[in-house]
Amino acid sequence: MTEVLETVIELVSETLQLSYQVDGTTPLVGAMPEFDSMAVVMLLTAIEDHFGITVDDDEIDVSIFETINSLSDFVSIKV
Amino acid sequence: MFPAFLDGEKGKLFSLYLPPESESCKGVVLHVPAFAEEMNKSRHMVIRQARDLSTMGYGVLLFDLFGTGDSEGDFADARWQTWINDTLNLIDWLAENIHSNVTLWGVRLGGLLAAVCASQSEKVYRLVLWQPVINGEQFMQQFLRLRLAASMMGEGEKETVKSLKVTLVKGEPLEVAGYVLDAQLFSSVVDTVMNSLDISHLQQVAWFEVNSVVKPLAVPSQKLIASWQENFHFSLNVQVVEGKQFWSNQEIVWAEHLINQTTLVFAS
């Protein structure tokens, strides 16, 4: 597992206060009840703070949030 | 605890006064609340802190800003200037009737609002800030993202922050996460930055940030604090405490260290 993926998993679990284990293939949007618009904003803020990157609002697209892997891929390009 | 409705500029403001639980009153603390959902997420922390301060001998006044909580007015009627005026009036009233030593204690956007009011009132002695917003524009950008995220997951047309800003600049209100954001409130907050404020008359500033791991302050905060140290003479207490970011967390969570460390500021 890459370091970015590991961190993204941590951030997702922490931000959404998940009580169960998740991995790269865990689907997010539309599949996880905790994953609402507030969660998207919190997760983006946590990712920006943690990796020191800026996510442009135009980049925010549902495809990024399909799974934890897709989110991690998006972050990997930016760091 | 004494609940009361106080007269505000545009309507009654719900307030809760916790008197000092000691014979002599050490000072008075006015709480300036956070914005929208962040206020709700902070309430339990605020009341716990207020109780601690009251036990220590401080009188603490909590209130809901006009258009929020149990105060009169709808969120759509809320204006930044009304919030400033109401807060300044409460400072005057507390200084005259309770104690001349007035502390303003602000959370998130309430921290920025408290700093604005401190810069406009010589009566404020001390400023206590919990994870303060230092740049109103950045804060509003993050708030608008809530609507963006909702549109991303919905069926409708995809929006951008730019298109939302166009609506607001035209003077039209915008609904974000159940809150009707007035265009004037939006633009006033956008125009407010902490580093332009003259708070030189203050005696003490305590600045707290909360993080799940203790790490250095955020870079913008570091810069601001460095400039305060250079230009102002108040005593400055800056800390990053370990804890959950209760104002944004989906669940109601506690940041115990924040309360303990804040209480220490008032013990000195």
Judged by CB atoms closer than 8 Å, whether chains meet at A34 and B212 is answered as no
Which pLDDT does position B156 carry in this prediction?
Answer: 67
C-beta separation of B146 from A55 below 8 A: no
Mutation pick from B133, B138, B144, B153 vs chain A, by most beta carbons of A within 10 Å, is: B153
pLDDT for the residue B138: 86
pLDDT at B227: 95
The reply to whether residue B142 touches residue A60, judged by beta carbons under 8 angstroms, is no
> Is A41 in Cβ contact with B145 (below 8 Å)?
yes
Which residues are within 8 A (CB) of B43 and not within 5 positions of it... i.e. 6 or more apart?
A: none
Distance of CA B83 to the CA centre of its chain: 11
- pLDDT of residue B5 exceeding 90: yes
Backbone phi, psi, residue B133, to 5°:
-80, 125
With beta carbons under 8 A apart, name residues in chain A contacting B177.
Answer: 37-38
Cβ neighbours of A60 in B, within 8 Å: 145, 148-149, 152
Contact B177 A16 (CB under 8 A): no
B52-55 contacts, C-beta under 8 A, 24 or more apart: B52/B259, B52/B262, B52/B263, B53/B18, B53/B29, B53/B263, B53/B266, B54/B18, B54/B19, B54/B20, B54/B21, B55/B21
Note whether A57 contacts B250, CB cutoff 8 Å: no
Interface contact A39-B141, CB threshold 8 A: no
Question: Chain A residues contacting B, CB < 8 Å?
Answer: 14-17, 29-30, 34, 36-42, 44-45, 49, 57-58, 60-62, 65
Q: Across the interface, which of A29, A30, A38 has its CB nearest the CB of B250? A: A38
Contact A42 B141 (CB under 8 A): no
Please tell me the distance in Å from A1's CA to the nearest CA on chain B.
23
B30 phi, psi to nearest 5 deg: -110, 125
B104-133 average pLDDT score: 98
Decide: B57 and B25 in contact? Cβ < 8 Å: yes
Rounded average pLDDT over A27-43: 88
Q: At B155, is the pLDDT very low, low, confident or very high (cuts 50, 70, 90)?
A: low
- Residue B146 has its nearest CB partner, among A15, A16, A41, at A41
- Contact criterion met (CB < 8 Å) for B142 and A29: no
- Residue in B94, B92, B146, B152 with CA at minimum distance from that of residue B122: B92
The strand pairing partners of B142, in sequence order, are none
Closest listed residue to residue A79, CA positions, set A7, A12, A1, A11: A7
Which residues sit opposite A27 in a β-bridge?
Answer: A67
To 5 degrees, how large is the angle CA B42–CA B180–CA B149? 75
Q: Tokens for B64?
A: 């809901």
**pLDDT tens figures, B84-118:** 999 999 999 999 999 999 999 999 999 999 999 99
**pLDDT over 80 at B236, yes or no:** yes
Bridge partners of residue B181, in order along the sequence? B174
Contact across the interface for B250 and A34, Cβ inside 8 Å = yes
Interface test with B, best of A10, A29, A42 (most B CBs within 10 A): A42
Q: How much is the mean pLDDT over chain B?
A: 94
Could you read off the pLDDT of B179-190 as tens digits, one per residue? 999 999 999 999
Cα–Cα separations (whole angstroms), residue B210 to A11, A33, B8, B214, B215: 16, 27, 32, 8, 9
Which of B157-171, B184-198, B247-261 is least confident? B157-171
Contact B161 A38 (CB under 8 A): no
The Cα B71–Cα B52 span in angstroms is 24
Q: Are the beta carbons of B33 and B39 closer than 8 angstroms?
A: yes
At A46, is the pLDDT very low, low, confident or very high (cuts 50, 70, 90)?
confident
Residue B30 bridge partners (DSSP): B61, B104
**Which residue of B lies nearest to A42 if distances are taken between CA atoms?**
B248
